[in-house]
Amino acid sequence: MMHCRISDIGGVGTYAAYFALYLLTVEFGVYWCHRELHHPLVYKYLHATHHKYNKEHTMSPFAGLAFNALDGIIQVRMRGRGQGLPCAMAV
């Protein structure tokens, strides 16, 4: 279902509540997914590439794009249905 106006979903208050709920659930999922990628069994194989560019002396704006393909797929799936998919497919 598509809503073209804020009034279609009940007004500004309802929109703000949905928006806050969306942000909380997405951030919660991203945090726990990222935390699980630091597990010793998977970190070296999946997630270390991302942190190679995220050190004190090599900080890079591209660290967010530096990841193993499987790492990217896992993180996209954790962000919710389809959210983030176009970005992951473009990389």
pLDDT the model gives residue 90: 36
Mean pLDDT over 54-79 rounds to: 71
Tally DSSP H helices, then E strands, for the chain.
5, 0
State the chain's mean pLDDT as an integer: 74
pTM over 0.95: no
Q: pLDDT by residue (tens digit) across 2-32?
A: 667 878 878 899 889 988 988 888 888 778 8
The set of residues, in sequence order, having a beta carbon less than 8 Å from that of 33 and lying 6+ positions away, is 74, 75, 78, 79
Work out the pLDDT band at 86, boundaries 50, 70, 90. very low
| pLDDT band with cut points at 50, 70 and 90 for residue 79 | low
Tell me how far the alpha carbon of residue 19 is from its chain's centroid. Answer: 16
Per-state percent for the chain, helix, strand, coil, to nearest 5: 65, 0, 35
**CB 71 within 8 Å of CB 43:** no
